[in-house]
Structure 1
Amino acid sequence: MAIEDDVVTPGEVLGDATDLIAGKGAYVSPNGRKIHASLTGVRRLLPPPPSSTDARPTVEVVGSKSHGAVPEPGSIVIARVTKVMARMASADIMCVGTKSVKEKFTGTIRQQDVRATEIDKVDMYQSFRPGDIVRALVLSLGDARAYYLSTAKNELGVVSAQSIAGATMVPISWTEMKCPLTSQVEQRKVAKVD
């Protein structure tokens, strides 16, 4: 369980509904077992009022005044790929729509969410590299540590990438980008530009 005065983000578990009452900025999960934060802010525990028959303290989240944009399902985000593994890629979300984020939000692009067709043939290492800037759709909150992101539409995917030579690569097809210095072609899941 989180300690009082921890900064929490939306969806983060604040505690068990058997031990706590959900106050402002908190909600009980649909199964009624856990209490989650509904906004970014500081977690506070309030003792039960003396007149109350319920001995559980109330947990609330006090929002910070100047928080930046927060990713939510359905929003388009710009993220920087930090790590690529066999079945998924991790990315730090930098912008939601046109607004930059102030807190650190992490996204996960799973193998099945890279593209809409031939999902079983997706090679994560041929789709993304660390440092790539991607445009992605937020699918869901995922787990407490990362949002699930998708690049399965034509306009989603890598929008900017550095080649091995350090130049900004130019997209030449929906699966390839080319280094303007060396003419080396590298595989990527490229975002279609209008």
Structure 2
Amino acid sequence: MQERVNEEDMVTPGEVLGKGTELKAGKGAYLSPHNNTVYASLTGRRSLLPPSPESPDQRPTVEVIGHKAHGPVPEPGCVVIARVTKVMARMASADIMCVGSKSVREKFSGIIRQQDVRATEIDKVDMHSSFRPGDIVKASVISLGDARAYYLSTAQNELGVVSAESMAGSTMIPISWTEMQCPLTGQIEPRKVAKVGA
């Protein structure tokens, strides 16, 4: 007899699974410290694991088991590689391609907000001179934001644009923290550059 998955047990990223006082976050879930709430970090089936009898912590662990063979999932605190798809006045959107060194199999969207581009002079950040569509950026995951997109940050020195194509279609070389140069034309374009070998 085929096991039927109860529809109520299906959760999607960002869905609340319970309070941190009552549950521990296991695989596919994470605890948000600012409101002590456990959220799902992937689409799948919710599962509760009872605590072991000798464990001092008697909270059950909640896990989300992916509904398909899934690759890595972005989690708050991890570093991702993403391709910028759109740049707007106050934010840039990107498709996450890798979590750490592993490629993702599902589509994850990321948003880099103006205040998360760099650590200093936040109010002077110009999104259009930090990123361009097609840029490959290294960013850290802040949290699962709204609209099913992860909030990403490039505020650390080693985060930012790691690969970018110039107007002439050539891969540019970083020449400073804020500029990259086209080896073909010598043209310099502004970017929020990741510090290499940080």
Give the TM-score of the pair, scaled to structure 2. 0.73
* 1:34-113 matched pairs, under 5 angstroms: 37-41=40-44, 63-113=66-116
Q: Which runs of 5+ in 1 are unaligned?
A: 15-24, 44-59
SS of 2:161's partner is: strand
| Cα displacement string for residues 128-153 of structure 1 (whole angstroms, at most 9, x for unaligned residues) | 00000000010111114211100001
SS of 2:143's partner is: strand
* 1:6-25 matched pairs, under 5 angstroms: 9-12=12-15
Could you tell me the percent identity over the aligned residues?
A: 80
Report how many aligned residue pairs link the two structures: 168
SS of 2:95's partner is: strand
**Counterparts in 2 of 1:170 and 1:67: CA distance versus 1, 3 Å:** same
Aligned residue for 1:22? none
- Flag as ranges the 4+ runs of structure 1 deviating above 6 A: none
Aligned residue for 2:129? 126
What one-letter code is carried by the residue in structure 2 that aligns with 1:180?
P
Aligned residue for 1:51? none
Asked if residue 158 in structure 1 is aligned to residue 161 in structure 2, the reply is yes
Q: Are the aligned partners of 1:11 and 1:144 in contact in 2 as well (CA < 8 Å)?
A: no
Shift of 1:11: 1.3
Asked if residue 116 in structure 1 is aligned to residue 93 in structure 2, the reply is no
Q: Are the aligned partners of 2:41 and 2:73 in contact in 1 as well (CA < 8 Å)?
A: no
Separation in structure 2 between the aligned mates of residue 97 and residue 62 of structure 1, nearest angstrom:
21
Q: RMSD value over aligned CA atoms?
A: 3.2
Q: Are the aligned partners of 2:117 and 2:153 in contact in 1 as well (CA < 8 Å)?
A: yes
**Counterparts in 2 of 1:145 and 1:181: CA distance versus 1, 3 Å:** same
